[in-house]
Amino acid sequence: GAVVSQHPSRVICKSGTSVKIECRSLDFQATTMFWYRQFPKQSLMLMATSNEGSKATYEQGVEKDKFLINHASLTLSTLTVTSAHPEDSSFYICSARGLEPSLEGEQFFGPGTRLTVL
Amino acid sequence: GQNIDQPTEMTATEGAIVQINCTYQTSGFNGLFWYQQHAGEAPTFLSYNVLDGLEEKGRFSSFLSRSKGYSYLLLKELQMKDSASYLCAAMDSNYQLIWGAGTKLIIKP
């Protein structure tokens, strides 16, 4: 099956620093990757959609200068949280959609990254 | 607007059957997904329905009625490991997933 990895799985940082999260599709080429944020006991909130080689499309209310997304290749997308603050502490999950999905539009999820900003 | 509704929490007994309902309103429709999410983990895919009817996969089945904007996930022979949140997501005309808030399923012995 399609496997998506995320690194790191957990990160703790000081307020004001930047954190980079990597999302990789390990055994398929992902034309589209999605970045989600999930606060405790809430559903997934789509932050942005990125297509390989083009700028990401951000959802309303998500600051693109704060959450930098780079989808440089068909297997890698990165999310950088710049100048992180405690309110950015959350569970960040990426998902990927392949060139030839087994199901139309199916997304394969990474294991998530738990970010804690002190 | 686009909206997904599902119950917040349900409780069931080990070995029993439980049905989790989901209603949706989307701009266009390209299918309905069910995901399972254990606490602190990413969602895992359970089922996909795009045509009306029941899809059975082992202990789990999923039903869709497009005319009613309604789906349910049926879990049989419940096991303690089935305790998790179950997320309903509808895909709109742009192939974007619209997510429900999730149903927390509590299994009691």
Region B17-43 average pLDDT: 93
If one compares B96 and A20, the residue with the highest pLDDT of the two is A20
Has residue A104 got a pLDDT over 90?
no
A19, A24, A37, A64, A81 from A16: Cα distances, Å: 10, 26, 19, 17, 10
Q: Does residue A99 have a pLDDT over 70?
A: no
Q: Which one of A21, A34, A97, A107 would you mutate to disrupt binding with B, by most B Cβ within 10 Å of its Cβ?
A: A107
Distance CA A25, CA A95 (A): 9
Distance from CA of A107 to the nearest CA of B (A): 9
Give me the percent of chain B exceeding a pLDDT of 90: 79
Pairing between β-strand A10-13 and β-strand A113-117 as defined by DSSP bridges: parallel
> Does A114 sit within 8 Å of B48, measured CB to CB?
no
Q: Where does the pLDDT of residue B80 fall: very low under 50, low under 70, confident under 90, or very high at 90 and above?
A: very high
User: What integer pLDDT is reported at residue A49 of this predicted model?
Assistant: 92
Of the candidates B31, B44, B99, the beta carbon closest to that of A44 is on: B99
**Residue A81 vs residue A105, higher pLDDT:** A81
Q: Is B96's CB within 8 Å of A114's CB?
A: no
A40 touches B: beta carbon within 8 Å: no
Mean pLDDT score, A70-86? 93
Give the model's confidence band at B96: pLDDT under 50 very low, under 70 low, under 90 confident, else very high. Answer: confident
| CA atoms lying within 13 Å on the CB side of residue B44 | 11
Averaged over B15-34, what is the pLDDT? 95
Distance of alpha carbon B46 from alpha carbon B60, whole angstroms: 8
What's the pLDDT score for residue B95?
76
Residue A103's pLDDT band (cuts 50, 70, 90): low
Yes or no, beta carbons of B41 and A111 under 8 Å apart? yes
Query: Which chain B residues are Cβ-neighbours of A104 within 8 angstroms?
Result: 30-31, 50, 91, 95
Q: Which of A43, A91, A109 sits opposite B99 (nearest CB)?
A: A43
Q: Quick check: A84 pLDDT over 70?
A: yes
Give the C-alpha separation, A57 to B68, whole Å: 32
